[in-house]
Amino acid sequence: MRNAINSPFRYAGGKYYARKLILEHILPHNYYIEPFVGGGSIFFAKEKVQNSWLNDLDEDLINTYIHIRDYPEELINFLKGKPALKELHAYYKNDYVPQSDLERAGRWYYLNRTSFSGIMNKQNCYWGYDDKYSKRPENWPKAIRSASEKLQGVKITKLDFEEVISNVPDNSFLFIDPPYYNADQEKFYTCGFNKIDHLRLEKVLRKHSGRIKFLLTYDNTSEVKELYHWCYEPLEREWNYKINRTDNQKKCVGKETTVITKGKRYKGKEIFITNFETFDELAINNN
Ligand SMILES: C[S@@+](CC[C@H](N)C(=O)[O-])C[C@H]1O[C@@H](n2cnc3c(N)ncnc32)[C@H](O)[C@@H]1O
């Protein structure tokens, strides 16, 4: 894929390991939108088109994206000479008081790169850097510069998803990766997402479905399947991933809390919902 790069962030619930599977289901388009961008692993992996719009309600995340796009050298300068150290992580997490948006972005980037799974929610933001597996501080500038290049000309907003979806241009393609339906997402993200939000999402997508194309990824639950009965049959997808980078940690998967063990292999399982016929469905229908 031309100009495919990795996200400059680590991100809980990020789609890095599923990116190939997801890219297979993205239709050709001129306007690309992610209303829940998070770490943006799909935007950074795909070919950039003429117009892109990335959105998330997380204020610090969006402030950091804007600094990567518009002030990469200032951000790099802030991070310069700062080693990945547990004590510095604790200082940025608990004591440091940023005096500007640039300092806020610098603090956030430092914590994101050194926390377990990039979890930034204060209660669950633990030291999670490992010299062997994590991106080392001397490589952060390169990641920031290449992300900055790809973000040039990209619209970046901090809005509720409903406002974004209601205002996307006709014929846009949306990759929609909301928080899971059946998981305690408060553990990962700074903005809460409840059942009412899931219902709002379904309603706004149904309203605009005639003028846009979307790929929606969710946890595989009967409630979600029921909610999106008006879309094409959901595709069940699995992918493998391995946790390499940190000490053993607890992680919430669905409704269960699992102990994540360093070096072990795990399976990601989700459903892909589309409002257009995918190649898989065409193949089934033609057989
Ligand atoms: C599953 S993550 C997206 C992960 C992303 N696809 C990636 O690869 O890194 C869901 C995101 O939704 C955001 N979010 C939560 N509530 C929101 C809302 N009401 N409107 C927009 N974004 C919201 C969270 O901040 C989080 O970044």
**Integer angstrom CA distances of residue 100 from 76, 104, 125, 159:** 15, 6, 22, 21
Q: Which atom of ligand 1 is nearest to the CA of 58?
A: 25
Q: How far is the CA of 65 from the centre of ligand 1 (A)?
A: 14
Residue 22 has pLDDT above 60, yes or no: yes
Site to probe by mutation for ligand 1, drawn from 187, 193, 199 as the one with most ligand atoms within 8 Å of Cβ, is 193
Site to probe by mutation for ligand 1, drawn from 55, 56, 180, 219 as the one with most ligand atoms within 8 Å of Cβ, is 56
Q: How far is the CA of 261 from the centre of ligand 1 (A)?
A: 25
**Ligand 1 touching residue 56 (CB < 6 A):** yes
Residues 254 and 219 sit within 8 Å (Cβ to Cβ): yes
Residues 24 and 1 sit within 8 Å (Cβ to Cβ): no
Q: Whose CA is nearest to atom 25 of ligand 1?
A: 58
Q: How far is the CA of 178 from the centre of ligand 1 (A)?
A: 5
Predicted pLDDT of residue 209: 98
Digit-coded pLDDT (tens) for 185-196 = 666 777 789 999
Q: Whose CA is nearest to atom 23 of ligand 1?
A: 57
As a whole number of angstroms, the distance between CA 157 and CA 172 comes to: 17
**Ligand 1 touching residue 38 (CB < 6 A):** yes
User: For all residues of the chain together, what is the average pLDDT?
Assistant: 89
**Ligand 1 touching residue 164 (CB < 6 A):** no
**Ligand 1 touching residue 41 (CB < 6 A):** yes
Contacts for 221 with CB less than 8 Å, ≥ 6 apart? 181, 182
Strand-by-strand arrangement of the 213-218 sheet: 155-157, 51-55, 31-34, 173-176, 213-218, 265-274, 235-242
Is the pLDDT higher at 183 or at 286? 183
Digit-coded pLDDT (tens) for 148-163 = 999 999 999 999 999 9
Q: Whose CA is nearest to atom 2 of ligand 1?
A: 38
Residue 242 has pLDDT above 90, yes or no: no
Predicted pLDDT of residue 159: 98
As a whole number of angstroms, the distance between CA 167 and CA 134 comes to: 38
Q: Which residues pair with 250 in a beta bridge?
A: 259
**Ligand 1 touching residue 193 (CB < 6 A):** yes
Digit-coded pLDDT (tens) for 87-132 = 999 999 999 999 999 999 999 999 999 998 788 887 788 899 999 8
Q: How far is the CA of 190 from the centre of ligand 1 (A)?
A: 10
Is the pLDDT higher at 271 or at 191? 271
Digit-coded pLDDT (tens) for 49-102 = 999 999 999 999 999 999 999 999 999 999 999 999 999 999 999 999 999 999
**Ligand 1 touching residue 177 (CB < 6 A):** yes
Residue 277 has pLDDT above 80, yes or no: yes
Predicted pLDDT of residue 249: 47
Q: Whose CA is nearest to atom 7 of ligand 1?
A: 14
